[in-house]
Structure 1
Amino acid sequence: MNIYIITGTSSGIGGAIARHLVDAREGVITISRRENIPLSRIAKTNSSFFRHYAFDLTQTGKIPELMEYIFTSFKEVKLNGIALVNNAGTIDPIGPSGKLDVSGIEAHLKTNLVAPAILINEFIRLSRPLKVSKSILNISSGAAHKPYAGWSNYCASKAGLDMLTQSIAMEQSAEEYPVRIISLAPGIVETSMQQKIRATSAEQFPMQKKFADLYKNQGLSQPDTVASGIIPIIFSDKPESGTFSDLRYL
Protein backbone atom coordinates (compact mmCIF):
# COMPACT_ATOMS: atom_id res chain seq x y z
CA MET A 1 0.00 0.00 0.00
CA ASN A 2 1.04 3.58 -0.64
CA ILE A 3 0.37 6.22 1.99
CA TYR A 4 -0.48 9.74 0.82
CA ILE A 5 -0.38 12.66 3.28
CA ILE A 6 -2.37 15.50 1.69
CA THR A 7 -2.98 19.03 2.97
CA GLY A 8 -5.94 21.23 2.12
CA THR A 9 -8.49 18.50 1.48
CA SER A 10 -11.79 20.06 2.55
CA SER A 11 -12.55 20.87 -1.11
CA GLY A 12 -10.93 21.73 -4.44
CA ILE A 13 -7.86 19.97 -5.82
CA GLY A 14 -6.84 18.44 -2.49
CA GLY A 15 -10.29 17.03 -1.87
CA ALA A 16 -10.43 15.58 -5.38
CA ILE A 17 -6.98 13.96 -5.09
CA ALA A 18 -7.94 12.41 -1.75
CA ARG A 19 -11.26 11.09 -3.10
CA HIS A 20 -9.65 9.47 -6.14
CA LEU A 21 -7.09 7.76 -3.88
CA VAL A 22 -9.73 6.61 -1.39
CA ASP A 23 -11.73 5.19 -4.30
CA ALA A 24 -8.58 3.27 -5.31
CA ARG A 25 -8.26 2.00 -1.71
CA GLU A 26 -4.88 3.64 -1.20
CA GLY A 27 -3.86 4.84 2.25
CA VAL A 28 -4.92 8.46 2.68
CA ILE A 29 -4.13 10.89 5.50
CA THR A 30 -5.71 14.32 5.19
CA ILE A 31 -4.81 17.56 6.96
CA SER A 32 -7.22 20.50 6.84
CA ARG A 33 -9.09 22.78 9.19
CA ARG A 34 -12.44 21.35 8.11
CA GLU A 35 -13.20 17.67 7.64
CA ASN A 36 -14.41 16.60 4.22
CA ILE A 37 -17.47 14.69 5.43
CA PRO A 38 -18.37 13.03 2.08
CA LEU A 39 -14.77 11.82 1.76
CA SER A 40 -14.79 10.35 5.27
CA ARG A 41 -18.04 8.52 4.50
CA ILE A 42 -16.62 7.01 1.30
CA ALA A 43 -13.51 5.86 3.14
CA LYS A 44 -15.61 4.24 5.86
CA THR A 45 -17.81 2.50 3.29
CA ASN A 46 -14.96 0.90 1.37
CA SER A 47 -12.84 0.20 4.48
CA SER A 48 -9.87 2.22 3.22
CA PHE A 49 -6.95 3.17 5.45
CA PHE A 50 -8.00 6.75 6.11
CA ARG A 51 -7.21 9.31 8.77
CA HIS A 52 -8.21 12.96 8.98
CA TYR A 53 -6.42 15.48 11.17
CA ALA A 54 -8.21 18.78 11.81
CA PHE A 55 -5.34 21.22 11.91
CA ASP A 56 -4.65 24.89 11.19
CA LEU A 57 -1.37 25.06 9.27
CA THR A 58 -0.69 28.58 10.52
CA GLN A 59 0.08 26.88 13.86
CA THR A 60 3.50 26.06 12.47
CA GLY A 61 5.14 25.27 15.80
CA LYS A 62 2.80 22.30 16.27
CA ILE A 63 3.53 20.69 12.90
CA PRO A 64 6.43 18.46 14.10
CA GLU A 65 4.19 16.91 16.77
CA LEU A 66 1.43 16.38 14.20
CA MET A 67 3.81 14.63 11.81
CA GLU A 68 5.14 12.39 14.58
CA TYR A 69 1.59 11.34 15.32
CA ILE A 70 0.81 10.76 11.65
CA PHE A 71 3.84 8.54 11.10
CA THR A 72 2.92 6.52 14.19
CA SER A 73 -0.57 5.93 12.75
CA PHE A 74 0.67 3.75 9.88
CA LYS A 75 3.64 2.00 11.48
CA GLU A 76 1.88 -1.38 11.14
CA VAL A 77 1.11 -0.87 7.44
CA LYS A 78 3.23 -2.71 4.87
CA LEU A 79 4.41 0.20 2.77
CA ASN A 80 5.34 0.34 -0.88
CA GLY A 81 5.69 4.09 -0.86
CA ILE A 82 4.89 7.25 1.05
CA ALA A 83 4.08 10.68 -0.34
CA LEU A 84 3.44 14.20 0.90
CA VAL A 85 1.23 16.44 -1.22
CA ASN A 86 1.52 20.09 -0.15
CA ASN A 87 -1.71 21.36 -1.63
CA ALA A 88 -3.04 23.75 1.03
CA GLY A 89 -2.71 27.37 0.05
CA THR A 90 -4.29 30.79 0.18
CA ILE A 91 -4.49 33.78 -2.15
CA ASP A 92 -5.44 36.24 0.63
CA PRO A 93 -4.66 39.03 1.15
CA ILE A 94 -5.17 40.38 -2.37
CA GLY A 95 -4.16 43.99 -2.94
CA PRO A 96 -1.19 46.30 -3.33
CA SER A 97 1.55 46.26 -0.74
CA GLY A 98 1.10 49.17 1.63
CA LYS A 99 -2.64 48.53 1.88
CA LEU A 100 -2.53 45.02 3.36
CA ASP A 101 -3.22 43.90 6.90
CA VAL A 102 -0.02 42.69 8.57
CA SER A 103 -1.72 39.68 10.17
CA GLY A 104 -2.97 38.63 6.73
CA ILE A 105 0.55 38.74 5.30
CA GLU A 106 1.83 36.64 8.19
CA ALA A 107 -0.94 34.05 7.83
CA HIS A 108 -0.38 33.89 4.08
CA LEU A 109 3.34 33.19 4.32
CA LYS A 110 2.82 30.64 7.08
CA THR A 111 0.24 28.75 5.04
CA ASN A 112 1.95 28.91 1.66
CA LEU A 113 5.63 28.64 2.57
CA VAL A 114 6.51 28.13 6.24
CA ALA A 115 4.10 25.24 6.82
CA PRO A 116 5.15 23.35 3.66
CA ALA A 117 8.83 23.85 4.58
CA ILE A 118 8.27 22.36 8.03
CA LEU A 119 6.09 19.53 6.69
CA ILE A 120 8.83 18.68 4.19
CA ASN A 121 11.51 18.80 6.88
CA GLU A 122 9.57 16.46 9.14
CA PHE A 123 8.57 14.15 6.29
CA ILE A 124 12.22 13.71 5.28
CA ARG A 125 13.34 13.23 8.88
CA LEU A 126 10.68 10.69 9.79
CA SER A 127 10.81 8.76 6.52
CA ARG A 128 14.61 8.45 6.47
CA PRO A 129 14.62 4.91 7.97
CA LEU A 130 12.01 3.68 5.47
CA LYS A 131 13.39 1.73 2.52
CA VAL A 132 10.47 2.55 0.22
CA SER A 133 9.62 4.99 -2.54
CA LYS A 134 9.32 8.50 -1.11
CA SER A 135 7.86 11.49 -2.92
CA ILE A 136 6.85 15.09 -2.25
CA LEU A 137 4.63 17.03 -4.63
CA ASN A 138 4.27 20.76 -4.00
CA ILE A 139 1.34 22.49 -5.66
CA SER A 140 2.84 25.62 -7.19
CA SER A 141 1.61 28.22 -9.66
CA GLY A 142 2.63 30.07 -12.77
CA ALA A 143 2.64 33.09 -10.44
CA ALA A 144 5.90 31.74 -9.01
CA HIS A 145 7.56 32.80 -12.26
CA LYS A 146 5.46 35.79 -13.34
CA PRO A 147 4.70 38.84 -11.19
CA TYR A 148 1.11 39.99 -10.69
CA ALA A 149 0.15 43.32 -9.14
CA GLY A 150 -2.01 42.59 -6.11
CA TRP A 151 -0.53 39.12 -5.63
CA SER A 152 2.89 40.07 -4.28
CA ASN A 153 2.76 37.64 -1.36
CA TYR A 154 1.31 34.83 -3.45
CA CYS A 155 3.99 35.22 -6.13
CA ALA A 156 6.71 35.37 -3.48
CA SER A 157 5.47 32.38 -1.50
CA LYS A 158 5.14 30.16 -4.57
CA ALA A 159 8.56 31.25 -5.86
CA GLY A 160 9.99 30.37 -2.45
CA LEU A 161 8.34 26.96 -2.56
CA ASP A 162 9.85 26.28 -5.98
CA MET A 163 13.35 27.23 -4.82
CA LEU A 164 12.88 25.07 -1.73
CA THR A 165 12.01 22.20 -4.07
CA GLN A 166 15.16 22.68 -6.14
CA SER A 167 17.46 22.92 -3.13
CA ILE A 168 16.03 19.89 -1.35
CA ALA A 169 16.31 17.80 -4.52
CA MET A 170 20.03 18.57 -4.56
CA GLU A 171 20.34 17.51 -0.92
CA GLN A 172 18.46 14.27 -1.49
CA SER A 173 20.48 13.21 -4.54
CA ALA A 174 23.15 11.64 -2.34
CA GLU A 175 20.73 9.61 -0.20
CA GLU A 176 20.44 5.83 -0.58
CA TYR A 177 16.63 6.10 -0.52
CA PRO A 178 16.12 9.68 -1.69
CA VAL A 179 12.94 11.67 -1.46
CA ARG A 180 11.82 12.77 -4.92
CA ILE A 181 10.44 16.30 -4.75
CA ILE A 182 8.77 18.33 -7.49
CA SER A 183 6.72 21.50 -7.92
CA LEU A 184 3.65 21.34 -10.12
CA ALA A 185 1.40 24.13 -11.36
CA PRO A 186 -2.10 22.69 -11.90
CA GLY A 187 -3.30 25.41 -14.26
CA ILE A 188 -6.31 27.62 -13.62
CA VAL A 189 -8.79 25.50 -11.69
CA GLU A 190 -12.32 26.28 -10.50
CA THR A 191 -11.80 26.36 -6.73
CA SER A 192 -12.68 28.67 -3.84
CA MET A 193 -9.46 30.56 -4.62
CA GLN A 194 -10.79 31.46 -8.07
CA GLN A 195 -14.07 32.57 -6.53
CA LYS A 196 -12.16 34.96 -4.26
CA ILE A 197 -10.20 36.33 -7.22
CA ARG A 198 -13.40 37.03 -9.16
CA ALA A 199 -14.88 38.78 -6.12
CA THR A 200 -12.01 41.29 -5.85
CA SER A 201 -12.03 44.76 -7.35
CA ALA A 202 -9.83 45.94 -10.20
CA GLU A 203 -8.15 48.26 -7.69
CA GLN A 204 -7.11 45.27 -5.59
CA PHE A 205 -6.17 43.11 -8.56
CA PRO A 206 -5.85 44.76 -11.99
CA MET A 207 -6.07 41.38 -13.78
CA GLN A 208 -9.44 40.56 -12.21
CA LYS A 209 -11.35 40.86 -15.49
CA LYS A 210 -9.13 38.29 -17.19
CA PHE A 211 -9.99 35.67 -14.57
CA ALA A 212 -13.66 36.62 -14.57
CA ASP A 213 -13.72 36.21 -18.35
CA LEU A 214 -12.02 32.82 -18.12
CA TYR A 215 -14.82 31.67 -15.83
CA LYS A 216 -17.49 33.20 -18.05
CA ASN A 217 -16.04 31.49 -21.12
CA GLN A 218 -15.63 28.14 -19.32
CA GLY A 219 -11.86 28.37 -19.48
CA LEU A 220 -11.22 26.82 -16.06
CA SER A 221 -10.26 23.22 -15.36
CA GLN A 222 -12.26 21.17 -12.87
CA PRO A 223 -10.66 19.72 -9.71
CA ASP A 224 -11.55 16.12 -10.63
CA THR A 225 -9.84 16.43 -14.01
CA VAL A 226 -6.75 17.99 -12.46
CA ALA A 227 -6.59 15.36 -9.72
CA SER A 228 -6.68 12.60 -12.34
CA GLY A 229 -3.65 14.18 -13.98
CA ILE A 230 -1.71 14.71 -10.77
CA ILE A 231 -2.02 11.28 -9.16
CA PRO A 232 0.02 9.30 -11.75
CA ILE A 233 2.85 11.83 -11.37
CA ILE A 234 3.28 11.42 -7.62
CA PHE A 235 5.33 8.21 -7.75
CA SER A 236 6.57 8.58 -11.32
CA ASP A 237 10.19 9.19 -12.35
CA LYS A 238 9.03 12.11 -14.46
CA PRO A 239 9.13 15.05 -14.05
CA GLU A 240 12.62 14.83 -12.57
CA SER A 241 13.20 15.65 -8.92
CA GLY A 242 13.80 19.34 -8.30
CA THR A 243 11.88 20.57 -11.31
CA PHE A 244 8.90 22.85 -11.81
CA SER A 245 6.26 21.71 -14.31
CA ASP A 246 2.90 22.89 -15.57
CA LEU A 247 0.37 20.06 -15.59
CA ARG A 248 -1.22 21.43 -18.77
CA TYR A 249 1.94 20.70 -20.75
CA LEU A 250 2.82 17.24 -19.42
Structure 2
Amino acid sequence: MTDLTGKNAIVTGAGRGLGAASAKILAAAGAAVMLVARDSVAVAEVAQQITDSGGRAVSMACDVADYHAVETMVAATQKQFGSLDILVNNAGVIDPIGSIASSDPKLWARNIEINLIGAYNAIRAVLPVLSKTTGTIINVSSGAAHRPLEGWSAYCSGKAGLAMLTRAVELEYAEQGVRIFGFSPGTIDTEMQVKIRASGINQISQIPRENLSSVADAARGLVQLCNAENDDLIGQDVSMTDANFRSRLNLT
Protein backbone atom coordinates (compact mmCIF):
# COMPACT_ATOMS: atom_id res chain seq x y z
CA MET A 1 0.00 0.00 0.00
CA THR A 2 1.12 3.56 -0.74
CA ASP A 3 2.50 5.18 2.43
CA LEU A 4 0.82 8.56 2.98
CA THR A 5 1.78 9.05 6.60
CA GLY A 6 1.81 12.76 7.42
CA LYS A 7 -0.12 13.71 4.29
CA ASN A 8 -3.42 15.60 4.36
CA ALA A 9 -6.17 15.14 1.78
CA ILE A 10 -9.51 16.53 0.65
CA VAL A 11 -11.99 14.21 -1.07
CA THR A 12 -15.10 15.72 -2.63
CA GLY A 13 -18.21 13.65 -3.19
CA ALA A 14 -17.06 11.50 -0.28
CA GLY A 15 -20.43 10.46 1.11
CA ARG A 16 -20.70 7.26 -0.92
CA GLY A 17 -19.31 5.23 -3.80
CA LEU A 18 -15.82 5.91 -5.11
CA GLY A 19 -15.37 9.01 -2.94
CA ALA A 20 -16.09 7.17 0.30
CA ALA A 21 -13.95 4.18 -0.71
CA SER A 22 -11.04 6.43 -1.71
CA ALA A 23 -11.23 8.38 1.55
CA LYS A 24 -11.05 5.13 3.51
CA ILE A 25 -8.01 3.91 1.59
CA LEU A 26 -6.26 7.28 1.91
CA ALA A 27 -6.81 7.13 5.67
CA ALA A 28 -5.64 3.51 5.86
CA ALA A 29 -2.46 4.61 4.06
CA GLY A 30 -1.83 7.16 6.82
CA ALA A 31 -3.35 10.37 5.44
CA ALA A 32 -5.64 12.66 7.41
CA VAL A 33 -8.76 13.21 5.31
CA MET A 34 -11.35 15.96 4.97
CA LEU A 35 -14.50 14.38 3.52
CA VAL A 36 -16.74 16.76 1.59
CA ALA A 37 -20.24 16.46 0.09
CA ARG A 38 -23.53 18.29 0.04
CA ASP A 39 -25.00 15.59 2.30
CA SER A 40 -23.53 16.37 5.72
CA VAL A 41 -24.98 13.22 7.30
CA ALA A 42 -23.48 10.89 4.71
CA VAL A 43 -19.94 12.31 4.95
CA ALA A 44 -20.12 12.39 8.74
CA GLU A 45 -20.98 8.68 8.76
CA VAL A 46 -18.04 7.81 6.51
CA ALA A 47 -15.69 9.98 8.58
CA GLN A 48 -16.87 8.19 11.73
CA GLN A 49 -16.20 4.81 10.11
CA ILE A 50 -12.65 5.95 9.38
CA THR A 51 -12.00 7.21 12.92
CA ASP A 52 -13.54 4.03 14.38
CA SER A 53 -10.95 2.10 12.35
CA GLY A 54 -8.10 4.17 13.79
CA GLY A 55 -7.78 6.69 10.97
CA ARG A 56 -7.96 10.46 11.08
CA ALA A 57 -10.90 12.10 9.33
CA VAL A 58 -13.24 15.04 9.58
CA SER A 59 -16.18 16.04 7.40
CA MET A 60 -17.88 19.16 6.14
CA ALA A 61 -20.93 19.92 4.02
CA CYS A 62 -19.98 21.84 0.88
CA ASP A 63 -21.46 22.45 -2.56
CA VAL A 64 -18.45 22.44 -4.86
CA ALA A 65 -20.34 24.61 -7.37
CA ASP A 66 -20.14 27.47 -4.84
CA TYR A 67 -16.60 28.91 -4.92
CA HIS A 68 -16.98 30.78 -1.63
CA ALA A 69 -18.07 27.56 0.09
CA VAL A 70 -15.11 25.69 -1.40
CA GLU A 71 -12.67 28.40 -0.33
CA THR A 72 -14.08 28.24 3.21
CA MET A 73 -13.76 24.44 3.22
CA VAL A 74 -10.12 24.56 2.10
CA ALA A 75 -9.31 27.11 4.80
CA ALA A 76 -11.01 24.89 7.39
CA THR A 77 -8.96 21.92 6.21
CA GLN A 78 -5.71 23.85 6.58
CA LYS A 79 -6.73 25.01 10.04
CA GLN A 80 -7.65 21.45 11.06
CA PHE A 81 -4.61 19.66 9.63
CA GLY A 82 -2.01 22.42 9.30
CA SER A 83 -1.24 21.74 5.64
CA LEU A 84 -2.67 20.19 2.48
CA ASP A 85 -1.11 17.67 0.10
CA ILE A 86 -3.83 15.89 -1.89
CA LEU A 87 -7.08 16.90 -3.59
CA VAL A 88 -9.44 14.29 -5.03
CA ASN A 89 -12.08 15.91 -7.24
CA ASN A 90 -14.68 13.15 -7.16
CA ALA A 91 -17.97 15.07 -6.80
CA GLY A 92 -20.11 14.43 -9.87
CA VAL A 93 -23.59 13.78 -11.20
CA ILE A 94 -24.94 11.98 -14.27
CA ASP A 95 -28.28 13.82 -14.61
CA PRO A 96 -29.87 14.80 -16.89
CA ILE A 97 -30.04 11.60 -18.94
CA GLY A 98 -31.95 12.02 -22.19
CA SER A 99 -31.87 13.65 -25.58
CA ILE A 100 -30.58 17.19 -25.90
CA ALA A 101 -33.92 18.45 -27.21
CA SER A 102 -35.79 17.05 -24.21
CA SER A 103 -33.27 18.13 -21.57
CA ASP A 104 -33.98 20.67 -18.84
CA PRO A 105 -31.57 23.61 -19.37
CA LYS A 106 -31.27 24.16 -15.60
CA LEU A 107 -30.34 20.53 -14.95
CA TRP A 108 -27.91 20.56 -17.88
CA ALA A 109 -26.20 23.64 -16.50
CA ARG A 110 -26.16 22.17 -12.99
CA ASN A 111 -24.31 19.11 -14.31
CA ILE A 112 -21.57 21.36 -15.71
CA GLU A 113 -21.51 23.40 -12.50
CA ILE A 114 -20.76 20.30 -10.43
CA ASN A 115 -18.70 18.14 -12.77
CA LEU A 116 -16.51 20.85 -14.31
CA ILE A 117 -16.86 24.16 -12.47
CA GLY A 118 -16.87 22.36 -9.11
CA ALA A 119 -13.54 20.75 -9.94
CA TYR A 120 -12.16 24.10 -11.12
CA ASN A 121 -13.33 25.73 -7.88
CA ALA A 122 -11.49 23.18 -5.75
CA ILE A 123 -8.34 23.38 -7.89
CA ARG A 124 -8.40 27.17 -7.81
CA ALA A 125 -8.73 27.16 -4.03
CA VAL A 126 -5.91 24.68 -3.36
CA LEU A 127 -3.32 25.74 -5.96
CA PRO A 128 -1.73 28.45 -3.79
CA VAL A 129 -1.04 25.72 -1.22
CA LEU A 130 -0.23 22.72 -3.42
CA SER A 131 2.19 24.70 -5.58
CA LYS A 132 4.36 25.01 -2.45
CA THR A 133 4.12 21.39 -1.24
CA THR A 134 4.54 19.19 -4.35
CA GLY A 135 0.87 18.38 -3.99
CA THR A 136 -1.27 15.92 -5.92
CA ILE A 137 -4.61 16.57 -7.64
CA ILE A 138 -6.71 13.69 -8.96
CA ASN A 139 -9.69 14.57 -11.14
CA VAL A 140 -12.15 11.70 -11.47
CA SER A 141 -12.69 11.43 -15.19
CA SER A 142 -14.55 8.97 -17.42
CA GLY A 143 -14.37 7.27 -20.76
CA ALA A 144 -17.24 9.64 -21.54
CA ALA A 145 -14.67 12.45 -21.66
CA HIS A 146 -13.35 11.03 -24.91
CA ARG A 147 -16.43 9.77 -26.76
CA PRO A 148 -20.07 10.89 -26.93
CA LEU A 149 -22.73 8.60 -25.51
CA GLU A 150 -26.41 8.86 -26.32
CA GLY A 151 -28.37 10.68 -23.63
CA TRP A 152 -25.28 11.88 -21.79
CA SER A 153 -24.61 15.20 -23.51
CA ALA A 154 -24.10 17.10 -20.25
CA TYR A 155 -21.99 14.42 -18.59
CA CYS A 156 -19.78 13.88 -21.64
CA SER A 157 -19.31 17.63 -22.11
CA GLY A 158 -18.40 18.21 -18.47
CA LYS A 159 -15.94 15.33 -18.34
CA ALA A 160 -14.35 16.39 -21.63
CA GLY A 161 -13.85 19.85 -20.16
CA LEU A 162 -12.38 18.31 -17.02
CA ALA A 163 -9.87 16.33 -19.10
CA MET A 164 -8.69 19.56 -20.71
CA LEU A 165 -8.57 21.29 -17.31
CA THR A 166 -6.25 18.52 -16.12
CA ARG A 167 -3.93 19.19 -19.04
CA ALA A 168 -4.08 22.95 -18.46
CA VAL A 169 -3.08 22.61 -14.81
CA GLU A 170 -0.21 20.30 -15.79
CA LEU A 171 0.96 22.83 -18.38
CA GLU A 172 0.90 25.78 -15.97
CA TYR A 173 1.94 24.20 -12.66
CA ALA A 174 4.05 21.09 -13.27
CA GLU A 175 7.24 23.13 -12.93
CA GLN A 176 6.02 24.25 -9.50
CA GLY A 177 5.74 20.63 -8.39
CA VAL A 178 2.00 20.12 -8.76
CA ARG A 179 1.16 16.54 -9.78
CA ILE A 180 -2.19 16.24 -11.53
CA PHE A 181 -3.96 13.26 -13.06
CA GLY A 182 -7.28 12.41 -14.61
CA PHE A 183 -8.54 9.05 -13.36
CA SER A 184 -11.18 7.03 -15.17
CA PRO A 185 -12.43 4.32 -12.78
CA GLY A 186 -14.30 2.30 -15.39
CA THR A 187 -17.90 1.14 -15.10
CA ILE A 188 -18.10 0.55 -11.36
CA ASP A 189 -20.93 -0.57 -9.08
CA THR A 190 -22.21 2.70 -7.59
CA GLU A 191 -25.52 4.50 -7.10
CA MET A 192 -24.86 6.39 -10.33
CA GLN A 193 -25.03 3.07 -12.17
CA VAL A 194 -28.49 2.44 -10.70
CA LYS A 195 -29.71 5.62 -12.44
CA ILE A 196 -27.95 4.65 -15.64
CA ARG A 197 -29.51 1.17 -15.74
CA ALA A 198 -32.94 2.62 -14.97
CA SER A 199 -32.67 4.98 -17.95
CA GLY A 200 -32.28 2.19 -20.48
CA ILE A 201 -30.37 4.63 -22.70
CA ASN A 202 -27.11 3.69 -24.49
CA GLN A 203 -25.00 0.57 -24.12
CA ILE A 204 -23.73 1.38 -20.63
CA SER A 205 -27.25 0.97 -19.21
CA GLN A 206 -27.33 -2.59 -20.56
CA ILE A 207 -24.36 -3.83 -18.53
CA PRO A 208 -25.60 -6.32 -15.89
CA ARG A 209 -24.73 -5.36 -12.34
CA GLU A 210 -22.70 -8.52 -11.88
CA ASN A 211 -20.41 -7.37 -14.70
CA LEU A 212 -19.63 -3.98 -13.14
CA SER A 213 -16.13 -3.37 -11.85
CA SER A 214 -15.14 -3.21 -8.19
CA VAL A 215 -15.37 0.13 -6.41
CA ALA A 216 -12.63 -1.01 -4.03
CA ASP A 217 -10.22 -1.78 -6.89
CA ALA A 218 -10.95 1.59 -8.50
CA ALA A 219 -10.30 3.37 -5.20
CA ARG A 220 -6.99 1.53 -4.87
CA GLY A 221 -6.08 2.69 -8.36
CA LEU A 222 -6.96 6.27 -7.54
CA VAL A 223 -4.88 6.33 -4.36
CA GLN A 224 -1.98 4.65 -6.19
CA LEU A 225 -1.59 7.88 -8.18
CA CYS A 226 -0.42 9.61 -5.00
CA ASN A 227 2.74 7.50 -5.26
CA ALA A 228 5.73 9.11 -7.00
CA GLU A 229 6.27 5.86 -8.92
CA ASN A 230 3.45 7.04 -11.18
CA ASP A 231 5.02 10.38 -12.11
CA ASP A 232 5.31 9.19 -15.71
CA LEU A 233 1.50 9.50 -15.89
CA ILE A 234 1.25 13.13 -14.73
CA GLY A 235 -1.13 15.18 -16.86
CA GLN A 236 -2.78 12.12 -18.39
CA ASP A 237 -6.23 10.58 -18.07
CA VAL A 238 -5.34 7.25 -16.44
CA SER A 239 -7.85 4.45 -16.96
CA MET A 240 -8.52 1.41 -14.79
CA THR A 241 -9.03 -0.52 -18.02
CA ASP A 242 -5.43 0.10 -19.08
CA ALA A 243 -3.43 -3.12 -18.80
CA ASN A 244 -0.18 -1.35 -17.90
CA PHE A 245 -1.78 0.56 -15.03
CA ARG A 246 -3.63 -2.52 -13.77
CA SER A 247 -0.32 -4.38 -13.65
CA ARG A 248 0.97 -1.73 -11.23
CA LEU A 249 -1.89 -2.74 -8.94
CA ASN A 250 -1.27 -6.47 -9.49
CA LEU A 251 -4.66 -6.76 -11.17
CA THR A 252 -5.24 -8.82 -14.30
TM range (shorter): 0.7 to 0.9
Task: Please list every run of 5 or more consecutive structure 2 residues that lacks an aligned counterpart in the other structure.
Answer: 1-5, 246-252
Shift of residue 158 of structure 1?
0.5
Query: Residues 74-119 of structure 1: CA distance to partner in whole angstroms, max 9, x if unpaired?
Result: 11x6xxx711010111100011112111221121111000010111
Query: Which residue pairs with 2:172 in the alignment?
Result: 171
Query: Residues 202-240 of structure 1: CA distance to partner in whole angstroms, max 9, x if unpaired?
Result: xxx3x1xx3344225x22112112112221122334242
Which of 14, 26, 45 is residue 52 of structure 2 equivalent to?
A: 45
8 Å contact kept, 1:60–1:110: no
Shift of residue 10 of structure 1?
0.9
SS at 1:88 equivalent: coil
Q: How does 1:132-171 map to 2 (within 5 A)?
A: 132-171=133-172
Is 1:87 the equivalent of 2:90? Answer: yes
Letter in 1 for 2:58: R
Give TM-score scaled by structure 1 length.
0.87
RMSD of equivalent CA atoms: 1.9
Is 1:28 the equivalent of 2:33? Answer: yes
Q: Distance in 2 between matches of 1:40 and 1:111?
A: 22
Is 1:15 the equivalent of 2:20? Answer: yes
8 Å contact kept, 2:197–2:206: no
Which of 217, 233, 243 is residue 236 of structure 2 equivalent to?
A: 243
Shift of residue 125 of structure 1?
1.5
Letter in 2 for 1:104: L
Q: Distance in 2 between matches of 1:173 and 1:40?
A: 31
Is 1:107 the equivalent of 2:100? Answer: no
Query: Which residue pairs with 1:197 in the alignment?
Result: 196
% identical aligned pairs: 29
More displaced 10-residue stretch of structure 1: 30-39 or 6-15? 30-39
Higher relative contact order (CA 8 A, sep 6+): 1
SS at 1:174 equivalent: helix
Shift of residue 150 of structure 1?
0.9
Query: Residues 1-29 of structure 1: CA distance to partner in whole angstroms, max 9, x if unpaired?
Result: 11111011111111111112233442111
SS at 2:125 equivalent: helix
Q: Distance in 2 between matches of 1:221 and 1:195?
A: 14
Q: Distance in 2 between matches of 1:24 and 1:232?
A: 10
Query: Which residue pairs with 1:231 in the alignment?
Result: 223
8 Å contact kept, 1:135–1:235: no
Higher helix proportion (structure 1 or 2): 2
Q: Distance in 2 between matches of 1:212 and 1:93?
A: 14
8 Å contact kept, 1:105–1:153: yes
Letter in 1 for 2:76: Y
SS at 2:241 equivalent: helix
Give TM-score scaled by structure 2 length.
0.86
Letter in 2 for 1:228: R
